């Protein structure tokens, strides 16, 4: 990883808004590094100030204190166009002009590079085609945005950002309204882009499990505590990930790599294969069954044996338990 370097760096940032002369500080003492060739995920609860940080990184909000350095130069010394050549963005808002084709949308990404009329040069065209093929959208380039699925449209938005050809790609909840498969696909695509194109990709997301699967680095944001950065697995093993779930209700299960409801202790003892038993237990817990009088066994055929009775599935078992109680 010798060729990996810091593209964007924040040093002791303090951010906020001033309203009617009053300063309202939202974030203080933020420090971070964004590396090229890496996919970084910014995680944190709603309202913690992720959008504010993104605004600052995009240069739309000037820090009160501290420095933001892009490419060895203070961010605010770039003008809007120079900045646009370095940082591209994808937002979660699903507004789009339906009449635009995918190709035209991606071509709009060249806006900071073209002259006043917006005419594409041969280099611009190459860039657009490259962005389309990198996102595997070449076949769809003449389709209108209004006729695409949400997932394809968001991919087209990513292609547009790629065509803008900046070193930094910032995505603010790009998968917020997508289904599971599309969320996975877009995150793997972003990972691929960060590695192949040597771009620093920063994604704001709430999908912890997908982020764990794809990210090289986490930025953890929490109310009242500084930004915590590191490799996802480091954050996991050190238990820092638990900071995302304040209170006693939820717990991050290291074994299964996901968040779970903390259940009241129960007296269920079930025999059978471990994975199966886990789900049987879960179903019984949700149904409010804390103990069973007789021994319960999960058979290899997924039938359930309670004492001498057998049940075809969990639904039948729970029905029986509730009626007999």
Q: Which of 96, 106, 206 is nearest to 149 (CA)?
A: 96
Q: From the CB of 44, what's the least distance to another protein, in Å?
A: 21
Q: How many Å apart are CA 320 and CA 323, to the nearest integer?
A: 5
Q: From the CB of 192, what's the least distance to another protein, in Å?
A: 22
Q: How many Å apart are CA 73 and CA 67, to the nearest integer?
A: 10
Q: How many Å apart are CA 25 and CA 128, to the nearest integer?
A: 41
Count interface residues toward another protein (CB under 8 A): 34
Full DSSP string of 75-102: GGGS-HHHHHTTEEEE-S-----TTSBH
Judged by CB, which is closer to another protein: 58, or 176? 58
- 41: exposed, middle or buried (Cβ count in 10 Å: 0-12, 13-18, 19+): buried
Judged by CB, which is closer to another protein: 116, or 300? 116
Q: 128 near 163, Cβ under 8 Å?
A: yes
Q: From the CB of 203, what's the least distance to another protein, in Å?
A: 16
Q: Which of residues 44-103 bind another protein (CB under 8 A)?
A: 58, 60, 80-85, 87-89, 91, 93, 95-100, 103
Which range, of 67-75, 114-122, 183-191, 208-216, touches another protein by CB under 8 A?
114-122
Q: 171 near 201, Cβ under 8 Å?
A: yes
Q: How many Å apart are CA 128 and CA 126, to the nearest integer?
A: 5
Q: From the CB of 161, what's the least distance to another protein, in Å?
A: 8
Asked if 111 touches another protein (CB under 8 A), the answer is: yes
- Find all residues with CB under 8 Å of 51, minimum gap 6, and list them: 172, 204
Q: Which of residues 156-175 bind another protein (CB under 8 A)?
A: 164
Q: 41 near 10, Cβ under 8 Å?
A: no
Q: From the CB of 16, what's the least distance to another protein, in Å?
A: 17
Q: How many Å apart are CA 121 and CA 110, to the nearest integer?
A: 10
Q: From the CB of 140, what's the least distance to another protein, in Å?
A: 16
| Terminal-residue alpha carbon distance, the chain | 62
Q: From the CB of 182, what's the least distance to another protein, in Å?
A: 20
From 4, 5, 25, 118, residue interacting with another protein (rule: CB under 8 A): 118
Asked if 104 touches another protein (CB under 8 A), the answer is: yes
Judged by CB, which is closer to another protein: 83, or 217? 83
Q: From the CB of 114, what's the least distance to another protein, in Å?
A: 7
Asked if 12 touches another protein (CB under 8 A), the answer is: no
Judged by CB, which is closer to another protein: 156, or 210? 156
Q: How many Å apart are CA 155 and CA 171, to the nearest integer?
A: 12
Asked if 150 touches another protein (CB under 8 A), the answer is: no
- Find all residues with CB under 8 Å of 261, minimum gap 6, and list them: 249, 250
Asked if 307 touches another protein (CB under 8 A), the answer is: no
From 16, 45, 66, 112, residue interacting with another protein (rule: CB under 8 A): 112
Under the rule (CB under 8 A), what is the footprint of another protein?
58, 60, 80-85, 87-89, 91, 93, 95-100, 103-105, 107-109, 111-112, 114, 116-118, 120, 146, 164
């Amino acid at each position: 990883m010798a060729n990996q370097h810091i593209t964007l760096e924040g040093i002791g940032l303090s951010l906020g808004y001033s309203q009617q002369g009053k300063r309202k500080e939202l974030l203080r003492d933020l420090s971070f590094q964004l590396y090229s060739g890496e996919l970084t995920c910014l995680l944190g609860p709603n309202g913690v100030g992720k959008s504010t940080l993104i605004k600052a990184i995009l240069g739309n909000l000037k820090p009160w204190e501290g420095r933001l350095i892009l490419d060895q130069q203070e961010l605010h010394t770039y003008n809007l166009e120079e900045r646009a050549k370095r940082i591209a963005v994808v937002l979660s808002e699903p507004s789009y002009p339906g009449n635009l084709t995918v190709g035209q949308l991606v071509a709009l990404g060249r806006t900071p590079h073209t002259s006043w009329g917006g005419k594409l040069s041969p280099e611009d065209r190459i860039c657009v085609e490259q962005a389309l093929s990198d996102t595997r959208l070449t076949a769809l380039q003449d389709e209108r945005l209004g006729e695409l699925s949400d997932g394809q449209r968001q991919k087209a938005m990513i292609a547009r950002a790629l065509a803008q050809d900046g070193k930094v790609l910032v995505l603010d909840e790009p998968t917020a309204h997508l289904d599971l498969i599309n969320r996975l696909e877009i995150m793997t695509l972003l990972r691929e882009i960060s590695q192949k194109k040597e771009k620093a990709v920063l994604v704001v997301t709430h999908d912890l499990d997908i982020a764990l699967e794809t990210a090289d680095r986490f930025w953890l944001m929490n109310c009242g505590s500084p930004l915590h950065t590191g490799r996802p697995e480091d954050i996991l093993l050190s238990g820092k990930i638990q900071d995302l779930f304040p209170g006693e209700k939820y717990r991050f299960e290291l074994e299964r790599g996901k968040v779970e409801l903390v259940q009241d202790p129960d007296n269920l003892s079930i025999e059978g294969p471990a994975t199966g038993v886990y789900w049987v237990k879960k179903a019984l817990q949700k149904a409010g069954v804390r103990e069973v009088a007789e021994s319960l066994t999960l058979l290899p055929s997924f039938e359930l044996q309670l004492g001498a009775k057998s049940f075809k599935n969990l639904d039948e078992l729970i029905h029986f338990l509730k009626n007999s109680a």
